[in-house]
Amino acid sequence: IFFLRKDFIMQISMKCSVAVHCLIFIHEAKGIAKVTSNLLAQSTGCNPVIIRNVISGLKKRNIEGIYCQDKKDAAKMILSLIEPGSSIGWGGSASVRELGVLDELKKAGHEMRDYPMKDKEVMGNPSYLGSCSSDYFLMGTNAITVKGELINIDGAGNRVACLIHGPKHVIVVAGMNKLVRNLEDGIDRIQTQVCPIIADATGRKTPCGVKGVCMDCQSPDCMCCSIVVTRRSRYDGRIKVVIVG
């Protein structure tokens, strides 16, 4: 499978096509059959215990994994995990925005602690201090291994910093397309598939944005300043990963 953009062709992982298949399958099966992890796995030809293995791997790392069949169920689950009157911080995650939970949390009267892009230009900004001391921090993850390791690459570093330490609770949203075999595959996925698209969309003058190829750059616009692997949570019940089918 190839993705054509401007002056380059970039190979996309087969997991992309599997994810598209899953979404279509879930949509078409509505009202006909209950879509379980086994049924979904059978339809894609995947091992029927992949999801359970990932959740088991997360549990061994003191991280709770929760599987949701679709975005609607994932949104309901996330809202149910957050106690009334809590303060909410979040990283720049398309996965979180697509679920619509930020608007729902705002309507419910939660204290929303935004950390806008302009505030990242100077260290020690009060808006960041508020975000990293929030009751709940919502974010996506760039990749997750079948063993339950979370892989994230960040430019400013505020997102991974809050994952590591600060907020009382962290809720991570991960689509099945983020699943990779190991750490090497996860980093490769991010640098060759994710970063070039983001760089191009945001106008960053990095090699991956201009040529579509990661060149281990030292550009001021570099998005790979920090590469963080979360292999275990020290604090019981702090990190929850919501896996969206």
pLDDT at position 88 is 98
Q: Compute and round to an integer the Cα radius of gyration of the chain.
A: 18
Q: How far apart are CA 15 and CA 177, in angstroms?
A: 6
pLDDT, averaged per 10 consecutive residues of the chain (245 residues), comes to 40 55 67 63 58 93 94 96 97 89 97 89 86 96 95 93 97 93 93 86 86 86 93 98 92
List Cβ neighbours of 115 (8 Å cut-off, separation of 6 or more). 89, 125, 127, 128, 130, 131, 158
Q: How far apart are CA 154 and CA 177, in angstroms?
A: 19
Identify the residue whose tokens are 């993705």.
3
pTM of the predicted structure, to 2 decimals: 0.79
For residue 110, give Cα distances in angstroms to 67, 84, 92: 25, 7, 19
Q: Integer distance in angstroms from the first to the last C-alpha of the chain?
A: 21
Quick one: three-class SS letters along the chain?
A: CEEEECCEEEECCHHHHHHHHHHHHHHHHCCCCCCCHHHHHHHHCCCCCHHHHHHHHHHHCCCEEEEECCHHHHHHHHHHHCCCCCEEEECCCHHHHHHCHHHHHHHCCCEEECCCHHHHHCCCCHHHHHHCCCCEEEEECCEEECCCCEEEEECCCHHHHHHHCCCCEEEEEEEHHHEECCHHHHHHHHHHHHHHHHHHHHCCCCHHHHCCCCCCCCCCCCCCCEEEEECCCCCCCCEEEEEEC
